[in-house]
């Protein structure tokens, strides 16, 4: 029989105990940013050096702004990665991120259709992985968690994949083990 009772006390999401990302996650983010900024600065300096017209348009003080922006983004990345956290609970996965615009995503495990583990060259070198969780109806990942260790990523994936199996076992059989 269908029932739709009023909920008097809502659960508090603030009670979620988020676990920080892997220690190497900051290195992954910093190296990715450096792989963007260093070639960009090299191209700007080379073009300025070999093209006198561009040299006059790009004054030397403007060249000092780019390294300053790199340093500021590195500092921001440090705090941004520290602000991220993941929590795997009985029936959902929670992921929080953001310093200025904070976002917490809760994805019910029962809605997950499939998972992917992604490992780029920098991630492989640092022993990290990215877990992508997809729910029904979408072409892109509903939850994208980068900065997990390989072991964490595989453990979460295994938990998500076996969730349906555990849901079919009566609760009293789970507690007898």
Domain boundaries, the chain: 25-81, 85-171
Write the pLDDT tens digit of every residue in 79-107: 999 999 999 999 999 999 999 999 999 99
> Could you tell me the sign of the dihedral formed by the alpha carbons of 163, 168, 172, 177, in that order?
negative
Q: Determine the 3-state secondary structure of 115 from DSSP.
A: strand
Question: What residues have CB less than 8 Å from 72, skipping those under 6 apart?
Answer: none
Domain at 85-171, CATH class: mainly beta
Min mean pLDDT across 37-41, 125-129, 154-158 is at: 37-41
Evaluate the CA torsion angle 35, 38, 44, 45 in order and state its sign.
negative
Q: Give how far Cα 119 sits from Cα of 21, 105, 141, Å.
A: 15, 22, 15
Question: Residue 172's pLDDT is what?
Answer: 53
Residue 176 has pLDDT above 70, yes or no: no
In the beta sheet, which residues pair with residue 134? Answer: 114
pLDDT recorded at residue 143: 92
**What's the pLDDT score for residue 129?**
96
β partners of residue 105: 95
């Amino acid at each position: 029989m269908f029932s739709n009772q009023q909920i008097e006390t809502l659960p508090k999401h603030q009670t979620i105990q988020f676990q920080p990302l892997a220690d190497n996650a900051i290195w992954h983010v910093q190296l990715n940013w450096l792989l963007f900024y260093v070639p960009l600065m090299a191209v700007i300096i080379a073009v300025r050096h070999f093209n006198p017209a561009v040299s006059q348009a790009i004054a030397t003080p403007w060249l000092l702004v780019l390294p300053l922006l790199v340093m500021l983004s590195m500092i921001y990345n440090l705090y941004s990665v520290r602000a991220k956290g993941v929590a795997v609970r009985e029936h959902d996965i929670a992921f929080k991120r953001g310093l200025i615009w904070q976002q917490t995503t809760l994805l019910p495990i029962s809605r997950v259709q499939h998972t992917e583990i992604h490992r780029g060259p920098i991630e492989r070198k640092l022993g990290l992985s990215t877990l992508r969780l997809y729910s029904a109806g979408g072409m892109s990942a509903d939850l994208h968690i980068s900065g997990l260790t390989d072991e964490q990523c595989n453990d979460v994936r295994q938990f998500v994949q076996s969730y349906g199996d555990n849901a079919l076992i009566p609760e009293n059989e789970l507690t007898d083990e």
